[in-house]
Amino acid sequence: MYDLEQIMQLDIDYMKKISTIELCKEGAFAYNQALPNYYDANHAHIWRKIADPATFLQNIKDFYQTNSLIPRLYLYNLEDNPSCIKALEKHGFQYEYFIDNIQCWNSEYAPLTPNSAIQIERVTDANMEEALAVEMSITTFGEPSLIQQAFTQTYRSPHFTYYLLRLEGKACCSANIFVSGNQGRVESVATIEGYRGRGLIGYMLRHIQQQSVEWGLKHLWILPINEQVAKVYHRANFKSVGKIASIHAFTEGKSLQEIRQI
């Protein structure tokens, strides 16, 4: 099983690198006025019990609208907040449910066949454009312009390390690891369309796992966006430690499901 507070703390540490964070007793408000259309940077993250849902939802709307942003929130710990869920529509929020896998590396390496055609390198200024091109090719990551802005911001942070995989010299797979304290999380795993189904992700994940051991990380997490992706990560010994139910609520704009289907 997983500790929700631990998972959320890592998430907030991640958000601090791309957003300004204002903490509250129910969770945290994240916002970045320089990237108003980058949804991940502009959300309230709520995982504790809400005592007065009506007042709280109005506070969220006031906060984001005052900052010229669309009010959006992720609500976790749903069993403790049924009143808040019921109040969402009354306060002008649309919402969608998600049940997501939480996976953690079990510290064992999955068997891989050596492949001399594969090279994995750290992303630097010399190959950054190639890595960015791989990320921008993935439609489920969002609009290419927003991917570029977010990449530029996180790439420069010492908490993120990006990697690029080449097959016979062709840049075709990228990923990064975010590190906070003794925990790491694999992010933005991407393979360009023509190279999918060849098992390249396994080599990339093995490389990141080796780096996590070298850095002495206690936990290495990964959050798949769907069951199919979870199976890929499972083959690399990222084992499910549970599922987390959540609601994504928003007053206008696209849902996450719409974005992922672009």
* pLDDT tens, residue by residue, 182-228: 999 999 999 999 999 999 999 999 999 999 999 999 999 999 988 99
Calculate what percentage of the chain has a pLDDT beyond 70. Answer: 97
Please compute the mean of the pLDDT values over residues 112-118 and round it to a whole number: 95
What is d(CA 152, CA 154) in angstroms, rounded to the nearest whole number?
6
Which of these ranges, 26-30, 74-78, 199-203, 255-259, has the smallest mean pLDDT? 255-259
- Number of other residues whose CB lies within 10 A of the CB of residue 262: 10
Upper half-sphere CA count for residue 107 (Cβ side, 13 Å): 6
Residue 136: what pLDDT?
85
Distance between CA atoms of residues 176 and 189, nearest Å: 7
Reported confidence tier of residue 261, pLDDT bands at 50, 70, 90: low
User: Where is pLDDT greater, at 117 or 18?
Assistant: 117
pLDDT level of residue 257 (50, 70, 90 thresholds):
confident
pLDDT the model gives residue 3: 84
Does residue 262 register a pLDDT over 60? no
Q: Which SS3 state, helix, strand or coil, does residue 220 take?
A: strand
What pLDDT is stored for residue 145 in this prediction?
A: 75
> Does 174 have pLDDT greater than 70?
yes
Taking only the tens place, the pLDDT of each residue in 137-165 is: 876 656 777 788 788 888 889 999 999 99
Looking up tokens 């055609």 gives: 117
CA distance 178 to 161: 7
Q: In this prediction, what percent of the chain has a pLDDT beyond 90? A: 79
Residue 260 is predicted with a pLDDT of 66
Q: Which region among 24-33, 143-152, 246-255 has the lowest average model confidence (pLDDT)?
A: 143-152
| 35 within 8 A of 68, measured Cβ to Cβ | no
Neighbours of 63 (CB within 10 A): 16
pLDDT (0 to 100) of residue 258: 77
User: Does position 255 have pLDDT exceeding 90, yes or no?
Assistant: no
User: What structural domains and CATH numbers belong to the chain?
Assistant: 4-100+244-260 (3.40.630), 107-236 (3.40.630.30)
